[in-house]
Amino acid sequence: MNNGSISRLYGRPRDTSFSWLSLKFRDPLVERQFHQSYVAQSATLNRSYMLVGLLAYLTYSVLDYLVLTDDLRTVLWIRLAISGLLVLLIAMTYWRRSYRDLQFILVGCVVVSGSGIVLMTAVLSEPFSYLYYAGLILIIIYSSNLLILRYMYSVALSAGLLAIYMATTILVNPIPQDFAISNMFFITVTVLWTSWTSYWQETFVRRAFAQRYLLRQEAKRAVKLSRVAEAGNQAKSEFLAVMSHELRTPLNAIIGFSEIMEQQMFGPMGDEKYNEYASDIADSGRHLLGIINGILDLSRAEAGTLEMKEDDIDLVEVIDRALRLSRNDAAKKGVRLGFVKPEINMLVWADEGLMRQVLINLITNAVKFTGRGGLVDVSVERRSQGGVRIDVKDTGVGIAENKIDLVVEPFMQVESAMVRENGGVGLGLPLVKKIVEMHGGTLKIASELGIGTTVSVTLPKTRWIEDELLSVAVSSPSAS
């Protein structure tokens, strides 16, 4: 499945960029999810700040008592009315559907409290008519830096309150020009400052949300793609298992009949060429059957259906059998086989058939890539920290360090003239690795180009069977 198919199935990552002016995400879905997240995370905090603002609004009535005389009752009524509206707005945040309108509730909170200050300015006599502007500055700072209010709302409210205050002090209750200029300057600077801080606050919040959003989206895509990969791998293993079974039956018939012809069991076939052809058919059939058996075993191992029949086995005997089966191939290539038997019985709890397959694959592979006159040496020893290790060392072509990981991947081969000459489909080492891991062991490959390769199979100490009986030591290597 290519990237285009994956994108069509699971969608492309959403656009998380936003406008530099309005700070609104360009993707409506992302904007909607941001709004929901923004409200959900800030609802409790906003409610707390609204309560604090209400208490502060009421606390300033103490100042009214201390400095006002003639206009005290009017200002207290205004403050009480505004406080009542603020209580109502706070109560609205407890409505279960208020999350949809929380920003508008916050806007109402700022409008109500700011309008109260402007109204006080409209009714107060001098000098208090031009001193209460300080309350408006506090409300602008409060709305822009404490309440978690959207940047655009905050700027619009601050500018709106400034305009209303200017209209009130010019048209409704004019104040001296010097005080008007001073008040306008301080309020304007406050609006500009709070707009700047509000802008960058929301910018950082949106950037953080965009990063989290992308991480969540990629995590979901990764889970989906992982499931697709697992399903595809399972389907591949099942297909290989079925096809291997289907192919083995006719191949066995081809091999059987070609061997009958090769041995001329029912009389001579005539021309000697027919005998050669029958022999070629049998060899090719056996080669193809070996490949199919490898595919079947590997697919079973990957699917977890390769059964293990564990028993106590002698690794020395298993290695001897594997060497005997590999002797003819080694002799044809002029490769010597060596094995020094250990002095103690190497008894382990394992599947004898699978361990023999491991050794045959490793030895056959080593012989395949070792030139004439080379050596393939097998050794087995008990490790000091427990367990047992088997080494198959050759003096063959070797593998580049950056290619070692490739050789344990199914159907992967390291490109070289030696590979093309000897053939193979790259199933030996992957199957060995699977079988070793099924036994709880590890496979390690050390190699150097032009010098040779050592493949080490390590079985854990839980596989070792204690036996102090000594076997007869054989110090000379068996060769062929």
Phi-psi region of 468 (alpha: psi -120 to 50; beta: other; left: phi over 0): alpha
**326-339 residue pLDDT tens:** 888 899 889 999 99
Coil, strand or helix: which one is 464? strand
Q: Which sequence spans correspond to the domains of the chain?
A: 3-224, 310-463
63-87 burial: b if 16+ Cβ within 10 Å, else e: ebeeebeebeeebeebbeebbebbe
**72-110 residue pLDDT tens:** 999 999 999 999 999 999 888 888 776 677 888 889 999
Its CATH class, for the domain covering 310-463, is alpha beta
Residue with tokens 């103490």: 62
**433-456 residue pLDDT tens:** 888 888 899 999 998 888 899 999
DSSP label at residue 403: G
Please report which helix (H) or strand (E) contains residue 379, including its range. strand 375-382
Per 3-state DSSP, the chain is made up of helix, strand and coil in percentages (nearest 5) of: 65, 10, 25
**454-467 residue pLDDT tens:** 999 999 988 888 75
**Do 174 and 155 contact (CB within 8 A), yes or no?**
no
